[in-house]
Amino acid sequence: MNLVITGANRGIGLELTRQSLARGNTVHAGARDAAQARELTGLAGASGGRLHVHALDVASDESVRAFAAALTGPVDLLINNAGLRTRRDDIEGVSLEDALQMLQVNALGTLRVTRALLPRLRETRGAKIASLSSGLGSIADNTSGGSYGYRMSKAALNMAMRSLAQDLRGEGLIAVAISPGWVQTDMGGSSAPTQVSESAAGLLAVLDRLTLPDSGSFFDFRGERIAW
Ligand code: NDP
């Protein structure tokens, strides 16, 4: 299976890459600063040529265009993992520049990459597009407020996935939003209850099981449905 994983140089993206390689897959891994992505490139040695590291800034049209042009052959699974969460995001403190940047990366970045890779995804019947969302992007689940820029960006991402599911269903392509849980990464922090290995294994297991009727859904890493 050929995978594309964005934001693969650290955190959940790095672990998804590691586990996908261990499963025997070929991975095209995107990193904003590929030259600095030492842990990621360190995986290449044991991969037998199955790991391809690419420079990829999902916020840049030019970078995404160059990345898409460098890919040949079918893509079976695109994991839009790259994401950004800035620190101060409450009503008093939210910086609108930061909020715009989160929209740019989390929502528009996902749309930009997915659109650029559609020709590659269309080469596989039943190809899957999975975007890392968050419970914080659920309107139904929002009983605690706050996190303006991040919540708005993930809610926008969710809407894009829902539209993609409708638009691509007739061609047999599957599009979902998926939450990794609260995970111990730079973003999730050290008090998060879920180890990155557990989250990534759960995400990959859920993605394995997806069929066309699941398209347009929002799952967590255990396969439970999350209300939009
Ligand atoms: P990290 O902050 O640990 O890693 C984020 C990754 O995204 C890094 O590789 C970073 O690259 C990359 N990235 C950021 N901006 C860009 C960009 N413009 N172009 C390309 N790559 C970019 O986050 P996690 O691993 O924890 O999160 C992964 C995903 O899961 C995100 O979408 C996040 O929103 C989501 N998520 C995480 C949760 C958690 O508890 N950890 C909870 C819910 C959702 P660089 O090193 O260059 O900055």
**Predicted confidence (pLDDT) per residue in 191-211, tens digit:** 999 999 999 999 999 999 999
pTM: 0.98
- In this prediction, residues 159-187 reach a mean pLDDT of 98
Question: pLDDT for 104-133, tens place per residue?
Answer: 999 999 999 999 999 999 999 999 999 999
Range 112-123 burial, b when 16+ CB lie within 10 A, else e: bbbebbbebbee
| Paired tokens of 137 | 């992007």
Q: Ligand 1 within 6 A of 9 CB?
A: yes
User: Does ligand 1 lie within 6 Å of residue 117's CB atom?
Assistant: no
What's residue 46's pLDDT?
A: 83
Q: Average pLDDT for residues 36-40, to the nearest whole number?
A: 97
Q: What is the pLDDT of residue 45?
A: 83
% of the chain surpassing 90 pLDDT:
97
Q: Is 132 in the pocket of ligand 1 (CB under 6 A)?
A: yes
Q: What pLDDT was estimated at residue 87?
A: 87
Q: ipTM score here?
A: 0.99
Q: Is 150 tagged catalytic?
A: yes
For the segment(s) 2-220, the CATH number from 3.90.550.10, 3.40.50.720, 3.40.1160.10, 2.40.50.140 is 3.40.50.720
Q: What are the boundaries of each domain within the chain?
A: 2-220
Q: Which of 84, 110, 196 to mutate to test the pocket of ligand 1 (most atoms within 8 A of CB)?
A: 84
Catalytic residue among 67, 148, 150, 219: 150
